[in-house]
Amino acid sequence: GRTPLSYAAEHGHKAVVSALLDTARFLADAKDEHSRTFLSRAALKGDVAVVRLLLQEYPEAIDISNHEKRTPLSHAAKAGHAELVSLLITGKADINPKDKFLRTALSYAAEEGHIEVVSLLL
């Protein structure tokens, strides 16, 4: 099920995320009913500050995928969150994994016409 950290991350509540990280420990690979981690939720939202906080505490979460094998980078690329894509790449996210549809972060960014994201991924 969803954790308080997942809800706070998805809604971009940086202060709440920070407080939770200071007082509680969460499993980096804990997944919700859609098989998404708290980092994937934050990546979908595109909140760079929240993702940065999460990665400082849970760097191992960077490439954890959901049931479709989509990673936080894949979600951020499809949504066109260029600054977040750059942060994830800098954090050593794998840019090449394919999801269950054999799609990569680059293919999602290209499909959506996100030229800045495409340039980052090339």
What digits encode the pLDDT tens for the residues 43-98?
A: 989 999 999 999 998 899 899 898 899 999 999 999 999 999 999 999 999 999 99
Instruction: Answer yes or no: is pLDDT of 32 > 70.
Output: no
What is the CATH number for 84?
Answer: 1.25.40.20
What pLDDT is attached to residue 26?
67
Instruction: Name every residue whose Cβ is closer than 8 Å to that of residue 30 and which is 6 or more positions away in sequence.
Output: 3, 6, 37, 38
- Average pLDDT of the residues in 31-45: 79
Distance separating the N- and C-terminal Cα atoms of the chain: 36
* Arithmetic mean of pLDDT, 91-106: 97
Euclidean distance between CA atoms 20 and 42, whole angstroms: 15
Domain of 105 in residue numbering reads as: 4-121
Domain count, the chain: 1
Tell me the average pLDDT of the chain.
Answer: 90
Rounded CA-CA distance 35/56 in Å is 22
pLDDT tier, 39 (very low <50, low <70, confident <90, very high otherwise): confident
pLDDT at residue 1 in the model: 64
The pLDDT, as a whole number, for residue 22 is 84
pLDDT of residue 27: 62
Contacts of 94 (CB under 8 A, 6+ apart): 63, 71, 73
